[in-house]
Chain A
């Protein structure tokens, strides 16, 4: 695709710089900005977008969009576009995205004679199903089947907090007090933790680690919360799976959407060309090829529809309507907050009472935010 762009723009050479290593992309890219060696165009992920947007490193793309008749922002999912928005400024054009959804293993549901998740199901329905799908294996305790596979990674469990009406931060993103320690958040965390500690329908971290396999993929967990990226593995494993929205206790379901877009360096010397490249890469033509692997869903409505051939894919698209971007797109030190959330959950599973752990973490989050 790069060579296609080069072919259409004679004399232009696109140099791709990959940054390997988990967690290395943001520090490396920031250092390139500090050294004034940052690229003209870069990937911007929702989960850390704020670090770049709120430090004034990116170009507001609104003038480009307004003056370019060949570009229509309406072609993209609005909820996905808005992740990189600040008021009337827009800092990235989305490439692709995934809402976080619930996967379920149809075979395990059928075997346990449990009905598949229905539209508008709530947390009680979920718990009842999870209990029915949990099978203790007395001969081999290590081979127990779980109702749900739980991964203690805050980006995956934040929708549970939202669905109870709780949240992590105040709407302006400045503090956690009154939100993270609200009754609703505590109730959500209590529910999540009880799946592991009280009902044992989900494995503890060490139980999951000791299994040595992905419990859902191994057919030993009936449900799993994840994004579109897992679909590749599930399909290649030949798992007969369904996709559902997370259960909800609120009026309408809620989830989080993670997106990845292209942004332009504010101090680029090739503004027009950079915009051409962003437009090209996010165009329907290129997107059709880019997302064919199945890692994520194209942010172009047309392309997304093109691939939404089955029920699973359609559930993902329907989820967009109920999805909002992560705090990381709006709050700079949010990666630290997510670490604190993971540690809190670990403490709770290890026996710390939920209210104590939540209040302690709430204080730590506010301490962190005050240092900005």
Chain B
């Protein structure tokens, strides 16, 4: 069963309605045991990353996320769920899950750009990447965020977006992919991306984490 992780990080309804539309059976869960037994995990989130990490720890979901990844379960992080897979976030300088080496950094406030970055922005992805199969290069996805993924190893980035700076719009490590934008709010392209993830099979012959 596909499990949508509920850790009090905003409204899960839009992810749910998208899954329903795609005909995907799923449960919303706060239970670590359910994560470990999942066939796939969707890890959404809006709001405050530091708060989200606090709730994950309280519910024992942080250890469950690490265990799920070590068990090669396909995981999709979305928005704040893409930021807290890193070692830390600059949002209230919080320590995060450490599933991917790197940091969620705040957009510079000294530029003329408005922060949060809100709206549709173009995404360039790594050629032939499975997550973007059937989606045109430079398709726009919907973003709402003040912090952006900054992986230590540039090979962990699989897609990029420009907003004053170029940042990683999506990352992949082992069985985890995470996108900074909201596929559930990005029209047909976003639904296609979700479909691509849901069609991904668990494979134990892939390294759980690239760095072992």
**Real complex partners, A and B?**
no
